[in-house]
Each structure stands twice: as C-alpha cells, then as structure tokens.
Chains A and B, each alone.
Chain A
Amino acid sequence: QKEVEQNSGPLSVPEGAIASLNCTYSDRGSQSFFWYRQYSGKSPELIMFIYSNGDKEDGRFTAQLNKASQYVSLLIRDSQPSDSATYLCAVRQGRDDKIIFGKGTRLHILP
C-alpha cells in the first residue's frame, strides 16, 4: 500500500461548483496533514493544514480530516478557473516525523 494516495485525475469541475479532492494515508500515527497547490511549471504552495479531526475552513477552502478512516479531503467552493492546478496532499508521519507527499490530483475548472 502506498503511503499517501491520491487519484491522479484530471478532475473536471464546472466553474462555480464545489471541487472535492481526496487523499488516503497508511500511517495510522500520522499527526499533521497539508494541502499544496501547484500550477504548471511552478513550485508547490501551501494552502491549508489540519491537525485535528473535523473541518477547517479558510475562505473558499475547507480541509476535512477523518483519522479513523485515514482520510483527508479538500473542498473548494465556488470553483474558479484560477483554481485549475495540481493539488498535492502531504502527511507528516507519526513514526518518524517525515513528510510524505502524494503524487497529486490534477484539477481542471471548466469555464
């Protein structure tokens, strides 16, 4: 089982709709979870982090964490064409504090 798994996409979402990006992880002791956005040809940029079970909201972004199911998601409300990018999920493992990145999900917002 891969340590951090994401659907590679592309995920196509109409402008104005909610985009839902999902990530699962294998290390049950993981404590910290991050979402990065990466535009084509650019470097990853941190957009959200979450440590506790439940939801965390920041503007149009909501991160959701369910440690029992080892699942973290990112919701983007009112999707805009500028949200078209690859979204990387990253997990800080409990056993060694290492940050493990998923391979990313490509999101395409349809105008």
Chain B
Amino acid sequence: DVKVTQSSRYLVKRTGEKVFLECVQDMDHENMFWYRQDPGLGLRLIYFSYDVKMKEKGDIPEGYSVSREKKERFSLILESASTNQTSMYLCASAFMRQGNIQYFGAGTRLSVL
C-alpha cells in the first residue's frame, strides 16, 4: 500500500509566523504535489515537483514556497502566514509510469489566527 504521511493533522498558527508542512511518501514516487482545498473551490494546486530539487508552480503559488531535498520528502512553506491561508492542505505523490495516479496524505487542517 502506498503511504503518504503528513506531519500534522491540525495546526494553529498566528499571522506572520513561518509555517512548515511536511510530507513523506514511502513508494519511491518521482512526483509530489501540494494542494489546498476550500469549500466550493475544490482542490487547487499550489506547487509540484517531478524530481529532487525540482519545483514547478501550480495555479496558486503566491505566498508559498516548497523544498524537495530528498525524493521521499516534499515540504510546503508559508513564509508569513495570513488568515486567508486557513485551509485544508493535502499532499499527494504519484508514479509517472503508473499513469501519474495520485495518492493523498491524510491532510493538514491549518488555522491562521
């Protein structure tokens, strides 16, 4: 079974704090993704990575950055958290030769006060 682990299920931070969301997968997948999900807006892609040290902007990268120093780990960074970044954050990984099927972690519900 594919396992995608996100470091926290719930997180509460204050405006202006630097926030790190960690994601680890154990299936040697090349591709990893960060989404946020808000009611009525569906899944929105923030950043993705097709290889170590590679990153590509998704649809809503503003206010976020990412790091992929190792193949199994993909981190999402909120440089200065704002209240409009309160959301559910979902990490996914995929194996290109499996048709890029994405497997999701449990999600992190982030509240920025």
User: Which A positions have Cβ atoms within 8 angstroms of B?
Assistant: 31-32, 34, 42-46, 49, 51, 88, 90, 92, 97, 99, 101-104
Contacts and interface: CB of A to CB of B under 8 A. Distances in A.
A97 B97 CA distance: 11
A81 B38 CA distance: 25
B37 to A, nearest CB: 9
Contacts of B106: 42-43
Given A88-B43, A92-B99, 13 more contacts: A32-B101, A34-B101, A34-B102, A42-B107, A43-B107, A44-B43, A44-B104, A88-B42, A92-B100, A97-B96, A97-B100, A102-B42, A103-B42
Contacts of A32: 99-101
A44 to B, nearest CB: 5
Contacts, number: 40
Contacts of A45: 104
A43 B99 contact: no
B103 interface: yes
Interface string B4-47: 00000000000000000000000000000000000011110000
B107 A46 contact: no
A45 B42 CA distance: 15
Interface in B43-102: 43, 90, 94, 96, 99-102
A97 B48 CA distance: 13
A97 B96 CA distance: 9
A101 B107 contact: no
B103 A103 contact: no
Contacts of B105: 43
A59 to B, nearest CB: 18
B90 A44 contact: yes
A46 B103 contact: yes
Contacts of A44: 43, 90, 104
Contacts of B94: 99
B58 to A, nearest CB: 9
A98 B89 CA distance: 19
Contacts of A101: 42-43
Nearest to A33: B99
